[in-house]
Amino acid sequence: MQNTQFNFKERRSELSQKIEEDSAIIVYSAPVKTRISDTDYLYRQDSNFYYLSGYEEPESMLLIRPNAQENNFIIFCRDRDALREQWDGFRSGQEGAVEKYGANQAYSISDVDKLMPELLEGVKNIYFSMSSPCGLDHKINNWVDQIRSNTRAGAEAPQNLLSLDTLLHEMRLIKSDKEIEVMKRAGEITAEAHIRAMQAVKPGMYEYQLEAEYLYAFNKNGARSPAYNSIVGGGNNACILHYVENNSELLDGDLVLVDAGCEYQYYASDVTRTFPVNGVFSQEQKEIYSIVQEAHTQSMDLLQLGNKWNLVHEKSIEVIVEGLISLGLLKGSKEEIIESGEYSRFYMHRIGHWLGMDVHDVGSYKKDGDWRELEPGMVMTIEPGIYILDSLDGVDEKWKGIGVRIEDDVLVTNDGYEVLTPGIPRTIEEIESVMQS
């Protein structure tokens, strides 16, 4: 169903003001992906496409021409087709594209190659995303070639193909109040799922059974998909960063790490909690967990306007290195260990990433070669972790197979930050208490 909360027209206008005079913007829909014969993966529109139009059907294209007096927003889309709609679902058709999605004009996608050269004639620059699906660059080159072949008849071919990415990504990086509202709802649903899982887990359960608790809570609340494949790793599996097999038994005495967040109205949440399968942390698990929690807290404290993104990351390294030295898991001085990168045996990823329509959202992390400063409206994850694989050399057996990550989603505000995923037990006491309730 179309989301009417976002002002797509305003987004198109804002983008139009950022581009050169006499330009056109072209955006292509995400491809349909076959899963097995006659069966596709659940369709999900390309984020840029949805961001600018709210249009959710595949096989469609947007053409925005800010300088065209009439017809400055055109949608190419599938035709109405009673038979296909009976089998595969409703299509808006060209009429719907105009009426419901505000296109000034809509055409059949089957006519795109015939009409585009005409519509692009006289335009100086064409903006499109370098990461566009389905060979859009190739198509654009063909249309421009066709115009060029008519130059002797007076046709004026576009001169520049320009990247849409930086302009659009900067817009997507800074979230509006409405986007934040939706992301908070995504956070609430994800919170419900984590609490549900903490209360359901027990020794002998399989990881996929615990995963089912998340999927249930997501779907029940109108989030039809996880924002990414859920990671549910018991024991040593928690140390595999992108573990998604989720097919092992959860054992008494092990921790389970769950990195799972829903996608709600095209916006992601991304939360990790690590909790004991039997409801009670062992001494060693507590010690590792406390270091990660401290890194989480101290990194969050640095989320202040004007602080550089990397400062937050460096703080997490510092806290984790100090903690691992105190447990004897790292040996030497803090400075040497940070300098040599030796800590990356235990902490091998960054503190977080931008979050939005994509779980690893768009937006650059550096500007002019330096880490960028935090600005209000940026949303990111804070997710320090310690992973002690059971195959690591030179590590006391008692630590092996402990993997801990704590991840929350935060919004940078004018006076610090706001957690978008509150209410999910995070401390050892909170987790043990909710698990026993």
Interface residues toward ligand GLY, by CB under 6 A: 228, 259, 270, 353, 359, 383, 407
- Bridging pattern class, strands 408-413 and 379-382: antiparallel
Identify whether the C-beta of residue 357 lies closer than 8 Å to the C-beta of residue 50. Answer: yes
Quick one: 33 or 360, whose CB is closer to ligand GLY?
360
Torsion of CA 254, 255, 258, 259, to 10 degrees: -130
Quick one: 192 or 259, whose CB is closer to Mn ion?
259
Quick one: 19 or 232, whose CB is closer to ligand GLY?
232
Beta carbon of residue 395, minimum distance to Mn ion (angstroms, whole number): 25
Beta carbon of residue 313, minimum distance to ligand GLY (angstroms, whole number): 14
What is the C-alpha separation between 190 and 188, in angstroms, rounded? 5
Inter-axis angle of helices 177-200 and 207-220, to 10 degrees? Answer: 140
DSSP string for residues in 140-165: HHHHHHHHHTTGGGT-----EEEE-H
Position 265 contacts Mn ion (CB under 5 A): no
Strand, coil or helix: 16 = helix
Quick one: 59 or 213, whose CB is closer to Mn ion?
213
Return the one option of ligand GLY, Mn ion, none that residue 196 interacts with (CB less than 5 to 8 A, by type).
none
411, containing H or E segment: strand 408-413
Beta carbon of residue 169, minimum distance to ligand GLY (angstroms, whole number): 18
Beta carbon of residue 88, minimum distance to ligand GLY (angstroms, whole number): 31
Beta carbon of residue 222, minimum distance to ligand GLY (angstroms, whole number): 21
Tokens standing for residue 125: 């620059």
Quick one: 65 or 296, whose CB is closer to ligand GLY?
296
Strand, coil or helix: 434 = helix
Position 259 contacts Mn ion (CB under 5 A): yes
What is the C-alpha separation between 353 and 313, in angstroms, rounded? 10
Beta carbon of residue 172, minimum distance to ligand GLY (angstroms, whole number): 17
Beta carbon of residue 272, minimum distance to Mn ion (angstroms, whole number): 5
Position 381 contacts Mn ion (CB under 5 A): yes
Nearest to 74 by CA among 138, 137, 7, 26: 26
Identify whether the C-beta of residue 257 lies closer than 8 Å to the C-beta of residue 274. Answer: yes
Quick one: 106 or 271, whose CB is closer to ligand GLY?
271
What is the C-alpha separation between 117 and 111, in angstroms, rounded? 11
Return the one option of ligand GLY, Mn ion, none that residue 293 interacts with (CB less than 5 to 8 A, by type).
none
Return the one option of Mn ion, ligand GLY, none that residue 228 interacts with (CB less than 5 to 8 A, by type).
ligand GLY
Quick one: 57 or 270, whose CB is closer to ligand GLY?
270
Identify whether the C-beta of residue 30 lies closer than 8 Å to the C-beta of residue 46. Answer: yes
What is the C-alpha separation between 331 and 340, in angstroms, rounded? 12
Distances (CA, A) of 210 to 26, 253, 287, 352: 43, 16, 25, 25
Closest residue to ligand GLY in the complex (CB): 259
Query: Which one of residues 270, 408, 409, 432 is an interface residue with Mn ion (CB under 5 A)?
Result: 270
Tokens standing for residue 108: 């059949």
Position 246 contacts Mn ion (CB under 5 A): no
Beta carbon of residue 113, minimum distance to Mn ion (angstroms, whole number): 40
Amino acid at 31: P
CB atoms within 10 A of CB 299: 24
| Number of residues lying near Mn ion (CB under 5 A) | 4
- SS3 readout for 358-373: CCCCCCCCEECCEECE
Quick one: 120 or 238, whose CB is closer to ligand GLY?
238
β-partners of residue 335 are: none
Pick the stretch among 117-125, 257-265, 305-313, 371-379 that binds Mn ion (CB under 5 A).
257-265
Q: What residues are labeled active site?
A: 38, 242, 259, 270, 349, 353, 360, 383, 387, 405, 407
Position 207 contacts Mn ion (CB under 5 A): no
Tokens standing for residue 332: 């030497």
Q: Which residues lie near Mn ion (CB under 5 A)?
A: 259, 270, 381, 407
